[in-house]
Structure 1
Amino acid sequence: MTEPHLDHTAPKALRDIPLSILDLAPITAGSTAAHSLRNTLDLAQHAEKWGYNRYWLAEHHNMPGIASSATSVVIGHVAGGTNTIRVGSGGIMLPNHAPLVIAEQFGTLESLYPGRIDLGLGRAPGSDQLTSRALRRGPGSDGQDFPDRLGELRNYFQPTSGSSMRIRAIPGEGLHVPIWLLGSSGFSAQLAGQLGLPFSFASHFAPDYLMPALDLYRSSFRPSSELSKPYAMIGVNVICADTDEEAQRLATSPYQQFLNIIRGRTGQLSPPVDSMDDLWNLQEQAIVKRQLSFSAIGSPATVRAQLEQFQQTTNADEIIVAAAIYDHKARLHSYELLADAVGIK
């Protein structure tokens, strides 16, 4: 029996790990999905120039403020407009789809943009229950069959599937599309470890279980043909501006976004405000700040210090950054300042 891999190494320095981007293609108040998707490609093109490692898009449905619902289509849009940066899903919610369809979609993407496509998979619906039913998720499709769906999907990429399976994914069969498992709890962490797959934790909105999940992933890891040792990525909200004060003001947009979520509302990304005091009560403020506690907000020096602390705590192999910033120029500036601050640019 192979012994589990335990990570006893010293924490990697922030400057030594890749930095990536998670984009939800935000639709800002008064704007359109078309404008959002143009901004997504523009950001990806800049990110490639600035040295970011990968650019991921996330599947969400029935959300007026997110334009990346047809995730594989947007991945093709971004990959077609860039040259070297890896592009993928952060993630595809596998219970929403037939594994064969995902294998064909990502086989097509890999055929068009070889060596650049990632397939990150989650088991949440990416939507509310009513929308889940509209996506043809039956009463038994609650994510518990995720390991079976994952196994079926991985089989479609095997080069021997043509002789061993009557149903083949073409394109897809025989192609190497790196599969990541994504999660905010221990389920996907342990499964990723047991299968020897890379793992990404959604600490940018669910930080409470981060350390137990990383420990579970690393302790349950079994080397595979994909990885010889664990590879863990963490999500961090980063809003970087010329001053701490300006960054804190920009951060009121994601604060409003999460405030609406805990109130059961959806909407487009709101512009920043000078103060949140009149928008939330003390209990709501505490909930939002807790959910977004894995955030680095401030000037380049402040953000770098916060990220170094996160890195020292988690010993992550990679950091993926989300930035819900209302103004596109300010969002570009934030990512450029970040690239300079951590030394990838």
Structure 2
Amino acid sequence: MIDVPLSALEVAMVQSGAPAVETLRDTATFAQELERLGYHRIWYAEHHHSPAIGAFPPVVLIAHAAASTSAIRLGSGGVLAPNHAPIMLAEQFGTLAALHPDRVDIGIGRGPGTFDESIARALRRGAGPATDAEYQADVAAILAFLVDEVSLGALPEPWLLASSTAGAALAAELGLPIALAHHIRPENTQAALERYRAGFTPSRWCERPRVLVCVETVCAETEEEAARRAGPMNVVKAGLLKGISDIPFPTPEEAADHTFTAPEREALAGFRAQQAHGSPKAVVNRLAQLADETGADELLLTTPVYDLQDRLRSYELIREHSNGMTAR
């Protein structure tokens, strides 16, 4: 039984051979369906210059989804602080929160959102990667500017995204709820949690440690079908293992014809074992295990599969087989 709320991270994968605008159009349907299923929140990730992931600004997707839903929480998972002026993020998310009270989150992350160094520099107007000090200053400035936006009404709920003990330490110092990227660096999850809980200082944003864990989740009626649906993302991951970041998101049929090397198969199997793939029973049991192991207050499911209906079916199956799942 899963006794914590379940939410979704929408990465907006762009299907091979299809225009990105089709993925963009799907986001409203996705939000409406997850609201119908009773999921707690949807977050949108910031990415740039990738053939596999749409370069759709989270703030725009939040506004679009909010206009077509009425209750589900919406936010960034995350918006990347080094790419934006802190005051602009505070104004954008403050406005969204005023328009949609008690529904908007601002999840703040550090990475550039791209593997292309020229694009990363373009996002920062020629500057190199943010230093630790610059990132910490940016996060503090965003929080300060958010307070200035309180005249608009309800504030967005701030979260700090982290995949390391350094990010966890910053979240603890600032008294922010933390969203752990278990779907990216599962090997860091437990150490980051320990650092966060040990160093947490209460703040106006959060009175106690509050943990959200993001998990890659692919659920289908059978183990074999779940593996088929996970195939396209496996091709993309295999490319990343070799430093290749410009691989389009293939169809399941194209992925089935792809030849993986033995080291790639081993690496992918090791990663998959840390996530939640398979039949409904296997996925629900794994999610319950992760919630128990991490003490998470909430699980954020990311499902990078090719077809919108297959993606929605994954969320639907989990809902159907999680009788004890906490709703909104």
SS in 2 for 1:15: coil
1:80 aligns with 2:59: no
Q: Relative to 1, partners in 2 of residues 1:54 and 1:137: Cα closer, same or farther, differing over 3 Å?
A: farther
Letter of the aligned partner of 1:310 in structure 2?
Answer: L
CA contact under 8 A between 1:199 and 1:232: conserved in structure 2?
yes
Deviates most, 143-152 or 196-205: 143-152
Measured in 2, the distance between the counterparts of 1:74 and 1:134 equals 22
Contact 1:65–1:266 (CA under 8 A) maintained in structure 2: yes
Which residue of the partner structure matches residue 334 of structure 1?
Answer: 314
Larger displacement relative to structure 2 (268-277 or 215-224): 268-277
State the alpha-carbon separation in 1 of the partners of residues 249 and 208 from structure 2.
39
Distance in 2 between residues matched to 1:217 and 1:321, nearest whole Å = 21
Deviation, structure 1 residue 283: 0.9
The alignment's TM-score, normalised by the length of structure 2, stands at: 0.92
Q: In structure 2, do the counterparts of structure 1 residues 77 and 274 end up closer, same or farther at CA, with 3 Å as the change threshold?
A: closer
What is the letter of the counterpart of residue 311 of structure 1?
Answer: A
Q: Please tell me the residue identity of whatever aligns with 2:301.
A: V
In structure 2, C-alpha distance between the alignment counterparts of 1:95 and 1:173, rounded to whole Å = 25
Q: Does 1:130 align with 2:109?
A: no
Structure 2 counterpart of 1:115, from 93, 96, 102 = 102
The partner residue of 1:262 within 235, 241, 246 is 241
Do structure 1's residue 271 and structure 2's residue 251 form an aligned pair?
yes
Measured in 2, the distance between the counterparts of 1:66 and 1:140 equals 21
Amino acid at match of 2:308: H
Sequence identity percentage:
36
AA aligned to 1:289 is A
Structure 1 distance, partners of 2:190, 2:28, is: 33
2:222–2:279 Cα contact (<8 Å) kept? yes
Q: CA deviation at 1:131?
A: 0.9
Which position in structure 2 is the counterpart of 1:60? Answer: 47
Instruction: Name the SS for the 1:208 alignment partner.
Output: helix
Shift of 1:265: 2.9
**Counterpart residue number, 1:146:** 135
- Greater mean deviation of Cα atoms: 90-99 or 110-119: 110-119
Q: Do the aligned partners of residues 277 and 68 (structure 1) sit closer, same or farther apart at CA in structure 2, a change above 3 Å counting?
A: closer
Report the Cα distance in structure 2 between the residues aligned to 1:275 and 1:89, rounded to whole angstroms: 29
SS in 1 for 2:77: strand
- 8 Å Cα contact 2:51-2:247 kept in structure 1: yes
In the alignment of these two chains, the number of paired residues is 322
- Partner residue of 2:197 out of 218, 233, 247: 218
- Aligned counterparts of 2:277 and 2:271: Cα–Cα separation in 1: 14
CA drift at 1:139: 2.8
For each residue in 1:213-251, what CA deviation from the matched residue of structure 2 results, as whole angstroms up to 9, or x when unmatched? 011111111122222211111111111111111111111
1:156-208 deviation digits (Å, cap 9, x = unpaired): 122xx4xxxxxxx6x87664211100011111111111221100111112111
Tell me what 1:165 maps to.
none
Give the RMSD, CA atoms, in angstroms: 2.0
Task: Give the TM-score normalised by the residue count of structure 1.
Answer: 0.88
Aligned residue in 2 for 1:180 = 159
Q: Structure 1: which 5+ residue stretches go unaligned?
A: 1-13, 162-168
**Residues 258-304 of structure 1: per-residue CA shift (max 9 Å, x gap):** 11222313233212249868521111222233344432111111111
Secondary structure of 1:20's aligned partner: strand
Partner of 1:4: none
Instruction: Indicate which of 78, 91, 104 corresponds to 2:91.
Output: 104
Query: Does the CA contact (< 8 Å) of 1:96 and 1:137 recur in 2?
Result: no
Map of 1:28 onto structure 2: 15
- DSSP 3-state at the match of 1:119: strand
Matched residue, 2:298: 318
Equivalent position amino acid for 1:288 in 2: L
Give CA-to-partner distance per residue, 1:42-63, whole Å, 9 cap, x none: 1111000101000000001111
* Aligned-partner Cα distance in 1 for 2:286–2:271: 16
Q: Is the 8 A contact 1:53 1:86 kept in 2?
A: yes
1:8-27 equivalences in 2 (<5 Å): 14-27=1-14
The answer as to whether partners of 1:95 and 1:137 remain within 8 angstroms in 2 is no
Counterpart code for 2:173:
Q
Paired AA for residue 46 in structure 1: E
Distance 1:331 1:59, change over 3 A: same
Partner Cα distance (2:108, 2:273) in 1: 24
In structure 2, give the amino acid aligned to 1:219.
A
Aligned-pair CA distance for 1:108: 1.6
Q: Which residue of 2 aligns with 1:94?
A: 81
